[in-house]
Amino acid sequence: MTIRARLLIGFAVLLVLLLVQLGVTYHFSMKTDNLVRELLRAHDASATVTQMSIEAQKLRRYEKEYFIYVKNLEKRQKYHGEWRGARNDLKNHLVRVTSGIDQSWDRDDITKAKRWDDYLNAYADGFAKVDASVDQGFLKDTLSANAAIQDAKNAFRPFFAETNAQINEKLSAARGMADEVRSDFELIQLILLGLAAASALIATVVILVVPNSVSRPIRALAAVANDMSMGNVHQQVRAEGAPEIRDLAASIERLRVGMKGLLTRVHRPASRNAA
């Protein structure tokens, strides 16, 4: 194999390893970017559902306060206002989700949110009817008001179970994606480490082996040429190494043979004259 071919193969392998490294890095960087985006969506959705659950808990708390003070007009109106504020906040969250404004939700999540909106509407309608009955004097005590709101509370109860399940689902998905990101990071570390080791090995071969395979036979040929310059033309030049080195050795061998023949012809007349 020629020296040029050896160098080309060595550098070609290094180039392939570099391209593989770039490809692996690009693949995992894109995958990680997508996972991080999905993780952030899951986090944002979980945060939104958590806020919904908090507002729903406020609704129930203000409802209880309302009925405790059903005979106290001032406090009843106060907690009714608090209830409306919590209900509006919860409604706004649901509208953002069901209308697609909040883009951290997928189609299945939006379907769930629409169902939660139905629960809220049923509960709000029931509460409004009870409030009207209290204002009109049909319900005058806490027990009768609580009994009247019971169906509305039952209609709203699935909201809590489903939102809690949704929170757990999103948190579980976020943990799964975080684990996958960490696993991919460990994998790409191993791959890049392996590619770096292979590149270092190939570079070592190119830097040390290839030059040595060239310099050693050249030094040997230089020694032969030096001997020839001193008149030693009897040592045959051996052709070893790469094709270029063998061609050079063959040229020096022809030169040696030519010099030997020339010296022989020069020495013959001198020997005859001496005789």
Q: Tell me: the pLDDT tens digits for 25-49?
A: 888 888 888 888 888 888 888 999 9
Write the CB contacts of 162 (distance below 8 Å, at least 6 apart in sequence). Answer: 112, 115, 116
Q: Which residue has the higher pLDDT, 145 or 226?
A: 145
Task: Check pLDDT > 60 for residue 271.
Answer: no
**Domain match, 103 and 196 both:** yes
Write the CB contacts of 225 (distance below 8 Å, at least 6 apart in sequence). Answer: 252
Out of 147, 166, 201, pick the residue that ends a domain: 201
So what's the pLDDT on residue 270?
54
**Domain match, 212 and 266 both:** yes
The whole domain housing 242 covers 205-274
**Domain match, 169 and 230 both:** no
CA distances from 224 to 86, 220, 229, 232, 263 (A): 100, 6, 9, 9, 17
**Residue range 12-24: mean pLDDT, rounded:** 86
**Residue range 2-14: mean pLDDT, rounded:** 77
Number of domains in the chain: 2
**Domain match, 176 and 254 both:** no
**Domain match, 99 and 173 both:** yes
**Domain match, 15 and 50 both:** yes
**Domain match, 23 and 128 both:** yes
Out of 177, 201, 225, pick the residue that ends a domain: 201
